[in-house]
Structure 1
């Protein structure tokens, strides 16, 4: 859960009555209920509640060369291109995808133990 409690920066730009923890703490209830959602990021602040969604872009496989950082900068538009982005089905999906892109499927990782 992400909440906006009284940090100094927020306190400088937000009226005190909107920084009351009572305007954030109700977000705890759905997160601890018996039927609490999984794979959910709940944002809360000033009595407003929203769900944030995590997506992955198609990305680019670069590898680990001496100039990988420079290559990443050159490919940044491709890395951040949201065309065909998707919501991963489960947490380990990202790692599986990265391994597959590098030519090492999950089987290789499991075999290493």
Structure 2
């Protein structure tokens, strides 16, 4: 037997809106903490976030690219990466389950890193 919830709004499906209790994306807070860890001058070149879920957890997957352009960008980048996966992050209603450096490199203006992070909703 199949049943249907008639109170479920079709517009949520068409517009891809959060259904139920959609919490705020933790990405802005994570970016602020990453910048504090990186130090000045560091800029965010790109940052995106998308929903993520498994059978037991739900959260968000983040992709972030940071650019280091100080006097010693190589040293600054190395200092930022050292111990990154063990760092403590303070995100209300979420915790950082995984954070990794996907790529790193240099350009004419300094050094950069491409990060991936997974934040899980803390029930």
On whether the aligned pair clears a TM of 0.5, the verdict is no
Task: Give the alignment's TM-score, normalised by structure 1.
Answer: 0.26
Larger strand share, 1 or 2: 2
The structure showing larger relative contact order (alpha-carbon pairs under 8 Å, at least 6 residues apart) is 2
Greater C-alpha radius of gyration: 1
TM-score computed with the length of structure 2 as normaliser: 0.24
Higher helix share: 1
